[in-house]
C-alpha cells in the first residue's frame, strides 16, 4: 500500500470521531445560546430559537456521510486483509458495525497500517 493511501486511511479513520466531537461542541454552544435567550422566547413570539440549529443539522449530515464512507471502506479493507484469520475478519466487521467511529482508528492502528497486499497474496488453487 502506498504511503499516500495509508495517509488517507489514517485521516479517514480519525475524521468521523473528530467531526463527532466538533458536532457535540457545536450543539452544546447552540443550546447555551438558546438558553441565554430564553427571555426573548417569552417576550418575542416571532423568535424561533431552533433556527440556529441549521448549521448543526448540516454538520450532522456531513458527519454521517463521512462515517458511512469510512464504514464501507474499512469493511472492505478488513475483508481483503488476508493477514487476518477469517474469524478475526468477522470480528472486525462486527466492531465496525457496532462500535463505528471508535473502531476505525483502533483497527487501523492495530491491524490496517501493517497490511501489505503484495506480501499476503492468497494462493491460487
What percent of the chain shows pLDDT beyond 70? 74
Distance, CA of 107 to CA of 98 (rounded, Å): 13
Distance, CA of 97 to CA of 24 (rounded, Å): 21
Lowest mean pLDDT among 4-13, 61-70, 108-117: 108-117
One-character DSSP codes across the chain: --HHHHHHHHHHHHHHHHHHHHHHHHHHHHHHHHHHTHHHHHH-TT--GGGGGHHHHHHHHHHHHHHHHHHHHHHHHHHH-TTS-HHHHHHHHHHHHHHGGGHHHHHIIIIITT--TTTSPPPP-
Better-scored residue on pLDDT, 26 or 43: 26
Q: Which pLDDT score, from 0 to 100, does residue 12 have?
A: 76
Mean pLDDT of the residues in the chain: 78
pTM of the model: 0.70
Better-scored residue on pLDDT, 52 or 28: 28
Amino acid at each position: 500500500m502506498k504511503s499516500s493511501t495509508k495517509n488517507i486511511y489514517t485521516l479517514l479513520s480519525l475524521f468521523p470521531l473528530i467531526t463527532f466531537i466538533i458536532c457535540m461542541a457545536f450543539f452544546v454552544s447552540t443550546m447555551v445560546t438558546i438558553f441565554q435567550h430564553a427571555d426573548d422566547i417569552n417576550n418575542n413570539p416571532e423568535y424561533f430559537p431552533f433556527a440556529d440549529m441549521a448549521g448543526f443539522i448540516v454538520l450532522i449530515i456531513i458527519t454521517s456521510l463521512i462515517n458511512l464512507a469510512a464504514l464501507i471502506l474499512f469493511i472492505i479493507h478488513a475483508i481483503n486483509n488476508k493477514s487476518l484469520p477469517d474469524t478475526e475478519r468477522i470480528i472486525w466487521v462486527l466492531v465496525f458495525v457496532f462500535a463505528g467511529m471508535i473502531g476505525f482508528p483502533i483497527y487501523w492502528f492495530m491491524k490496517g497500517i501493517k497490511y501489505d497486499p503484495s506480501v499476503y497474496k492468497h494462493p491460487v488453487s
